[in-house]
Structure 1
Amino acid sequence: MSLLKLYDKPECPFCWKVRLALHECGMAAERIDSRSPVHRPLWQALTPRKTVPVLLAGDHVIHESNVILEYLADISGRLLPANPADRIQPRQLNVYVDGVIGPALREVIFEKRDKPEAEWDPARIQAGTLAFEKALRYLSEQLGDRDFFADRYSFPECALTARFGLAEAYGVAIPDRFVNLQDWFARMKARPSYRATAP
């Protein structure tokens, strides 16, 4: 396989989940900082939405993090269960994390990022935190007492590990009523992929 190149932004949760997926698949990729003035016009010419991550795999340009995860699963045989029917739930949970958990946390992160605490809007932070906590109920039910959301490390592990990592960095904790999610996140942080890919 030709060398993979990833246009990346360290704190972007979509990029982080791709970095986790690459590591869990045992694949190396040259990481290129998308914020570099030299590289920005190069990768922006490759994607219509002008967003990262962008993965170059030989002649293939793959943008959108979920499409990248699908590609990595296809070529590695990892990140999804073997049975097609068993792949439905991990895919749905991946979308749930991006579409529900992500927007809730964005309210907190965007309010706190690069601002002194005196300028934070407490109402926005509280609303984001409450939306995050509300969204965790569904995830907790889906995880139950299992080690992973599927029969192995899969898409939701990539997406949710990145989101929980950013939540923790910005002072948003998983409430004690979701002990299974707290334990799950502790296991994810203990994996080599977390230490190797964290911003």
Structure 2
Amino acid sequence: MIEVYTDATPNGLKVSIALEELGLLYKVRRVFLGGEQMTPEFTALNPNQKIPVLVDDDVVVTESGAILFYLAEKTGKLLPKNPKARIKAIEMLFNQMSSLGPMIGQLVVFRGPWQNKAPEVTNRYFKEVSRIYGVLNKRLEGQPYFAGDEFSIADIAFLPWIRFAANVPFTADLPLAENPNLKAWLERVLARPAVQKGVAIPEPFPPEKQFEGFIKATVGVGDLHK
């Protein structure tokens, strides 16, 4: 059976959403990011000491984007068969990994743990995420999903991050409503039954513990990377 080492973070939720969409059996091993990722056992699975990690018999896959691609290749699902749509899904998967995720992550760190002590830096990340929202809105013009007519791993990659940004006070002022195609896409994908189940797996730790793990694991803020 597939095992997933994960937490209720945007990158972790990508994997549970994909597994629910695919209907695969899997076991969740929730990792407290306040230190459990530093253990020798976890480090043997991922020397980068990050979640998620997927173990499928003798195959170990790290990096959320690689896990999504692995699952799509394994099942022949969540990637369009049409070559043009397929490469568009892969392109947008890479786009999320290199742009939106890191930029929202930095915006939350500078506004949250660092309490906006460097407002010019915070503003740089806010402007960049706002710009990316506009690009994504344009990508969705005339089509329901990022690769065209089919829901794919590209949509799964973006979903938890945009959902997270819409629900966290530090990023509530991002221009989601000003980008109607993106807002409609978010509502559309969140209505999927498998998505609704996947975004609740794993159950998050109590808020104070979840935040403690976030702080401890944040390089330059927490005490895990001295």
**Range of TM-score over shorter length:** 0.7 to 0.9
Residue by residue, what CA displacement relative to the aligned partner does 1:21-56 show, whole Å, maximum 9, x if unpaired? 111111132111122767743221112322221111
TM-score norm. by structure 1 comes to 0.86
2:8 is paired with a residue whose SS is: coil
CA distance in 1, matches of 2:23, 2:175: 29
DSSP 3-state at the match of 2:143: coil
Q: Distance in 2 between matches of 1:166 and 1:109?
A: 10
Shift of 1:83: 2.2
Q: Where do 1:80-99 residues align within 5 Å?
A: 80-99=79-98
SS class of match (1:45):
helix
Structure 2 CA distance for aligned equivalents of residues 80 and 159 of structure 1: 13
What residue identity is the alignment partner of 1:149?
A: F
Q: Cα RMSD (Å) of the superposition?
A: 2.2
Identify unmatched segments of 5+ residues in structure 1. Answer: none
Alignment correspondent of 1:182: 183
- CA 63–197 in structure 1, closer or farther in 2 if over 3 Å, else same: same
How many equivalent pairs are there?
Answer: 193
Amino acid at match of 2:136: L
Counterpart in the other structure of 2:155: 157
SS across alignment from 1:30:
strand
User: 1:43 corresponds to which residue?
Assistant: 42
**What is the percentage of aligned positions where both structures have the same residue?**
26
| Equivalent-residue separation in structure 1 for 2:121 and 2:193 (angstroms) | 34
- The Cα offsets for residues 73-107 of structure 1, whole Å up to 9 and x where unpaired, read as 12222110012332111111111112111222112
Superposed CA deviations along residues 56-76 of structure 1, whole A, max 9, x for unmatched, are 111211112222112211222
TM-score calculated relative to the size of structure 2: 0.76
SS at match of 2:45: coil
Q: Deviations over 1:128-163 (max 9, x none)?
A: 221111112221222112111123111221111011
Cα displacement (A) at 1:172: 4.3
Residue among 18, 23, 28 paired with 2:25? 28
- The amino acid of 1:192's aligned partner reads P
Native 8 Å contact 1:43 1:54 kept in 2? no
Taking the aligned partners of 2:64 and 2:102, their CA distance within structure 1 comes to 16
User: Which secondary structure state, in structure 1, belongs to the residue aligned with residue 28 of structure 2?
Assistant: strand
Does 1:143 pair with 2:140? yes
